[in-house]
Chain A
């Protein structure tokens, strides 16, 4: 934490000289404060409609409470097969992302760290960061062309080699693999940046000492580099675990199609389709609230777990 230069103001009450000096800072904060109140806190008021029977003509307070002590829509959600499916899909897709997508940036950072020629290393980095700058619509466009069943590059190569065509996007199970694969493709380079920075912070003396002791490349990776970046790994793992029920919208919505919907529908797309398109506002607000609360719970749990295991948490 940086230290402020000016001496702490000891008097408790806000006096004129304090205001005369600090009013400018409050003026600067005014717009951000308005922003947070209007765009981040005002929507929380509307969360109430999860417990009310939504009506377009009434104000929130006037809407009648929902049945079952206000929990009617939560009960409805959990007896709705589409919702339970999308809940399952959200968790399964996030877990797969975690198991497959989490280690790959670490491995990539370790690989990059072994490159000796600086310009080559930089070129590889630039190329690996590129997919992060593509929108999911663009990536969907790329996937449509690359994976097209009849004249897409991959299937042409497969059939030329005498294999069976793969329906990357329009078979539900294969879609899951494509979804995970594209996620890794898009983010592994970008996510390696943090690990590279952590590796750069490891003292070179450790490596020199290990070399003197005759440690090879992989021993150094295992005994110096990995322990050196362990705190970073833990912090990112906590954030990933905390997000296990979270679902971005852009990626699943751009990639999904009717043939894969069995596994492709996630909570965020369910909410969009049934809420904004289907106008079931109370039901979808309840779903969103459930997702937020469980998300906070997971974040607190994983942070607590990290501290139990003797690591620094994220707060």
Chain B
């Protein structure tokens, strides 16, 4: 009996270590491309050409980063994208709150009609071309507004926020209503202060979406001053306008160009990688709320 139990616990210990090992391998797979990229961005040109860079930089130097950080083209686009992301996130949070809050009042007449209006848009999308023609009609092509307005209210995010609002005890609202508080007041003094976790989650979702998005800019924006960083990066990676780039940067050897590309990729992803780990407990909750069936 005793022996049996020991065998059992030994088996379970081995099992535990097996899963730890498996998770280590998975983590390495997740990190490997980033580590490789970092190593290449910090390596000397010769070592890249000679095929000697694996996961550790060879011929340490920060030339590529110096080139990126002193080139106004990248700095400009970085600042533009940062401001755009900030404005977009704040505006989207406002719109999402405006939409989610009234819909939690079951006495609101027209509530179900509004829900139908929203739900239809989840299933049926007019498509790329009708959207493009509308932007053309609204004179939004080539305007930074086209990067903010069309995506400023995500139904999915609205449902997450509404689920969170539903989770706030009714008694809080009831007592405020008895005290004669208006719906505006209830929103600002009860719901918003209690909703910091969901606001943080949705801010992250909207910000990541805007920071990482490039297809709307690709379709709607021709003016290079309004290129978000990701679209600029796309053009650089695909050597679109490569002649122009080469003469401007003064690089011709493939090595430097590759470590430069690596540095630009790092440069355009670092902000988000710095933020998301701190919001982990919030966004896990947010994703879970979104999955709850209404």
Contact = CB atoms under 8 A, between A and B. Distances in A.
Given A146-B36, A197-B291, A111 B23 contact: yes
A212 interface: no
Interface in A1-51: 1-6, 8-9, 14, 18, 22, 24-26, 28-29, 31-33, 35-36, 38-47, 49
Interface in B157-199: 166-167, 170-171, 173-174, 177, 182-184, 187
Given A31-B95, A127-B27, A299-B123, A14 B32 contact: no
B170 A3 contact: yes
Q: Interface size bucket, A side? A: 35 or more
Interface string B73-113: 00000000000000000000001001101111111110000
Interface stretch (B60-68, B213-221, B241-249): B213-221
Interface residues of B, number: 100
Contacts of B149: 35, 39
A314 B293 contact: yes
B126 A2 contact: no
A217 interface: yes
Interface string A110-134: 0110111100111111111111011
B237 A130 contact: no
Nearest to A108: B26
Contacts of B225: none
A289 B128 CA distance: 10
A256 to B, nearest CB: 10
B98 A29 contact: yes
A285 interface: yes
Contacts of A1: 166, 294
B183 A24 contact: yes
A250 B19 contact: no
A85 interface: no
B23 A281 contact: no
B233 A8 contact: no
A145 interface: yes
B127 A292 contact: yes
Contacts of B23: 111-112, 115, 120-121, 124
A126 B53 CA distance: 27
B40 A145 contact: yes
Contacts of B34: 130, 142
Interface string A47-59: 1010000000000
Given A28-B98, A29-B98, A197-B288, A135 B152 contact: no
10 contacts: A2-B167, A3-B106, A22-B107, A26-B102, A146-B33, A153-B54, A250-B215, A285-B127, A288-B128, A295-B123
B253 interface: no
B211 A135 contact: yes
Given A24-B183, A285-B129, 7 more contacts: A25-B101, A46-B126, A46-B134, A145-B40, A146-B36, A153-B55, A288-B127
Contact of A46 (B53, B130, B237): B130
Nearest to A313: B293
Interface string B224-265: 000000110110010000000000000000000010011011
B153 interface: yes
Contact of B293 (A44, A115, A135, A235): A235
Interface stretch (A88-96, A170-178, A269-277): A269-277
The 5 closest A-B pairs by CB, nearest first: A288-B127, A135-B212, A46-B130, A43-B126, A4-B106
